[in-house]
Amino acid sequence: DTGVSQNPRHKITKRGQNVTFRCDPISEHNRLYWYRQTLGQGPEFLTYFQNEAQLEKSRLLSDRFSAERPKGSFSTLEIQRTEQGDSAMYLCASSLNQGIAKNIQYFGAGTRLSVL
Amino acid sequence: AQTVTQSQPEMSVQEAETVTLSCTYDTSESDYYLFWYKQPPSRQMILVIRQEAYKQQNATENRFSVNFQKAAKSFSLKISDSQLGDAAMYFCAYRSSDSGYALNFGKGTSLLVTP
């Protein structure tokens, strides 16, 4: 068990470009979450998957953002037409829905996005 | 939406001493979960301790314990025998038990541990 893995760790892009981040959850974790963290703030919830179904989306997830989790394994978060305000750390977390670890979200190290 | 407030942007403690980090939250729900997460510089966030609202007993994990005051909507974290490795950002988080699985985080408290 290697924990939640996120790639890339850093991404620098120019305004208007599209970017895609990947998250590999802990194996057998059926729930997967995306958060955004800006400097000096706590993480803010973006979206949540149970298996392959996207069950909850925050109002922060504008129409330029899309997330997928094909086959209920890894997930991707794409941002189209990036803006400078998208610069942030994007965190992924996963959890089980049963057992003693139920309700505990395990976080990855994040992908830091800088939009120039 | 539930809000979580951490009123101490920064705290400092000497090694081997005890420090308490404050957290208050606003909710109309009776059942929920509360968490403290630790985020070391440039490293991933890890769970320190959790508390189920229906449990009256305060959670304890080794040197970490909480003071959960449900009526006051307060959830403070006490770190005993502080170590240099405890230096990090600490986030308090709330999760509803029946209206979604998102964690609502506070803005965090930066803990400095001095030798």
Among A30, A107, A111, most B C-beta atoms within 10 A, so best to mutate, is A107
CB A32 within 8 Å of CB A24: no
| Interface touch B102/A48, C-beta < 8 Å | yes
Percent above pLDDT 70 for chain B: 98
Mean pLDDT of all residues belonging to chain A: 93
For residues A22-29, average pLDDT: 94
- Distance, in angstroms, between B105 CA and closest chain A CA? 5
* Confidence tier at B2 by pLDDT (50, 70, 90): confident
The count of CB pairs under 8 A between chains A and B is 51
pLDDT tens-place string over residues B37-78: 999 987 889 999 999 999 889 999 999 999 999 999 999 999
What separation in angstroms does the CA of A10 have from each of A3, A13, A102, A111?
18, 10, 30, 5
Closest to A112 (Cα-Cα) out of A95, A78, A93, A87:
A87
B115 has a pLDDT exceeding 90: yes
For residues A68-89, average pLDDT: 95
CA atoms of A109 and B46, how far apart (whole Å): 10
| Interface touch A43/B4, C-beta < 8 Å | no
Name which residue leads in pLDDT, B100 or B72.
B72
- Distance, in angstroms, between A82 CA and closest chain B CA? 24
A94 has a pLDDT exceeding 70: yes
| Interface touch A33/B108, C-beta < 8 Å | no
Mean pLDDT of all residues belonging to chain B: 94
pLDDT score at B8: 97
pLDDT score at B9: 96
* CB neighbour list of residue B62: distance below 8 Å, 6 or more residues apart: none
Q: Of the ranges A84-88, A93-97, B35-39, B49-53, which one carries the lowest mean pLDDT score?
A: A93-97
CB A10 within 8 Å of CB A62: no
Tell me the backbone φ, ψ of residue A86, rounded to 5 degrees.
-80, -10
| Interface touch A56/B46, C-beta < 8 Å | no
Q: What angle do CA A31, A34, A40 make, to 5 degrees?
A: 135
Name every residue in A having a CB less than 8 A away from some CB of B. Answer: 3-4, 31, 33, 35, 40-45, 48, 56, 58, 91, 95, 103-110
> Which among B50, B103, B106 has CB closest to A45?
B103
B83 has a pLDDT exceeding 80: yes
pLDDT score at B1: 66
A102 has a pLDDT exceeding 80: no
pLDDT tens-place string over residues A8-23: 999 999 999 999 999 9
